[in-house]
Amino acid sequence: MKKLILIATLPVLITACASDPAPYNPLDEFEQVNPATMLESPESVPNNQFTAEQRERGRYLVTLLGCGSCHTNGALVGQPRADQLLAGSDWGIAYTNPLQEINPGVVYPGNLTPDPETGIGNWSVAQIVAMLRTGMDNHGEQTLPIMPWPAYHEIVVDDATAIAAYLKSLPAVRHEVPGNVAPGQRASSPYVHFGVYQSRE
Ligand code: HEC
């Protein structure tokens, strides 16, 4: 099927090249993916710090709020890795318009398991609660609203604490996600973009 299309379009391409260079089509760089996948949230491990009720409530909320659909490796492109549930994504999300800029800014959803080096093992419960309510990270830096904290900011402290309790009780998974990429720099790991565009008129 592909071959047939190539043969059919070749003469057109050659004619186009002879007169004018083909215009840059940013969509050539992208293929459509279907990210919709049912995701399990991993079981937490009992400990002395949090009650079973808190951990279960947190697990329920994490599933409901879809944290894993961004923070699980492969989930953004419909292929979640079962061994990296909530352990961060090697696929990033573009936050400037990749249809206008060849090199958009890209953020990579982090590892939410308690691994101290690659995850959020060193975050306090209060810091995780602050992230959900205000988007402020553990260094006092504001994260972009791609992390949907504006949608979560009215979450009551008990629920946010239950999410923190659950995340802190997960088995730690060692997985370092790529660093964020500033607009204009070339991302060396793949990314997706979610687009909402308004008509010009
Ligand atoms: C639409 C995708 C998306 C969803 C859904 C999402 N996040 Fe995020 N999250 C991100 C991105 C992207 C970042 C990195 C933002 C940045 O670096 O500016 C992030 C960052 C974070 C961080 C900081 C991690 C770090 O290492 O700095 C935490 C904690 C976090 N998210 C928790 C959650 C929780 C808990 C949920 C569900 C209640 C959730 N996120 C849902 C995309 C998402």
pLDDT, tens digit, for every residue of 68-120? Answer: 999 999 999 999 999 999 999 999 999 998 888 889 999 999 999 999 999 99
**Predicted TM-score of the model (pTM):** 0.88
Q: With a 6 A CB cut-off, is 177 part of the ligand 1 pocket?
A: no
Ligand 1 atom closest to Cα of 128?
29
Number of CB atoms found within 10 A of residue 118's CB: 17
DSSP readout, 135-200?
Answer: -B-TTSPBPPTTS-HHHHTT--HHHHHHHHHHHHTSPP---PPPPPB-TTSPPSS-EE--------
Ligand 1 atom closest to Cα of 144?
18
Cα separation values, 129 from 118, 174, 194, Å? 19, 23, 26
pLDDT, tens digit, for every residue of 105-164? Answer: 999 999 999 999 999 999 999 999 999 999 999 999 999 999 999 999 999 999 999 999
Q: With a 6 A CB cut-off, is 192 part of the ligand 1 pocket?
A: no
Domains observed in the chain: 40-192 (1.10.760)
Q: With a 6 A CB cut-off, is 146 part of the ligand 1 pocket?
A: yes
Starting at the earlier edge strand, list the strands of the sheet with 191-192.
Answer: 106-107, 92-94, 191-192
Q: With a 6 A CB cut-off, is 67 part of the ligand 1 pocket?
A: yes
Q: With a 6 A CB cut-off, is 178 part of the ligand 1 pocket?
A: no
**Whole-number average pLDDT of the chain:** 89
Q: With a 6 A CB cut-off, is 176 part of the ligand 1 pocket?
A: no
What is the C-alpha to C-alpha distance for residues 12 and 19, in angstroms, rounded to an integer? 11
pLDDT, tens digit, for every residue of 161-196? Answer: 999 999 999 999 999 999 999 999 999 999 999 888
Q: Is the pLDDT of residue 4 over 50?
A: no
DSSP 8-state class, residue 27: G
